[in-house]
Amino acid sequence: MKLLFASANAHKITEIRQLLPTGYELVSLAEAGFHEDIPETADTIEGNAILKAQFMADRQPLACFADDTGLVIPALNGEPGVYSARYAGEARNADDNMDLVLQKLEGKEDRSAYFVTVIALYLNGQMHLFEGRVEGTILTEKRGTNGFGYDPIFQPLGFDRTFAEMTSDQKNSLSHRGRALAKMMEFLK
């Protein structure tokens, strides 16, 4: 089965390809010949996933899905949340985003956080939603070089390493995106 993934993020595309079971083929936006920006104007993570999936469903015939992910930090009133990719500005620079989080958490005791991913799947004229979440802690410094985004400062509960210190397989086995994708794949069976 072919599934169009409504994302231009090369890291996400690689991650999803590693997680897809045999029998499913991921088609990226570039492979589908689509090079426009997809609007992400909703004020919730779920809303952005739905917007992106609907946007692509209206423009091509393949079953398609989109995700949106956010890092939620209770001590920062839920920031960066839906604005995770652009937290430190429109440049979407991961180091700047992490530096801003670390700066805002300076001196705070509560460093708990969680990643949440919502996948919106548009299939046969209907939208289906799947959520994955992983709890963790924001460290006081960056550790590791694998992964992307906030991975170097996020340590999942029960582990002594950040996502950026784990192999792709280790991270994918417990990540928010992996959990949401597993729910979608179970639904597709």
Which residues are identified as catalytic? Answer: 68
Report the alpha-carbon distance of residue 97 to residue 4 in Å, rounded.
29
Sequence-distant (≥ 6) Cβ neighbours of residue 60 within 8 angstroms: 4, 32, 34
CB 87 within 8 A of CB 43: no
Which tokens belong to 110? 């509560």
Which residue has 């029960």 as its token pair? 158
How many residues does this entry show for the chain? Answer: 189
Which residue has 């001590």 as its token pair? 75
Closest CA to 131 of 72, 189, 73: 72
- Exposed, middle or buried: residue 146 (CB in 10 Å: 0-12, 13-18, 19+)? middle
Q: What is the distance between the terminal CA atoms of the chain, rounded to a whole angstrom?
A: 11
Q: Three-state SS for 86?
A: helix
Q: Three-state SS for 39?
A: coil
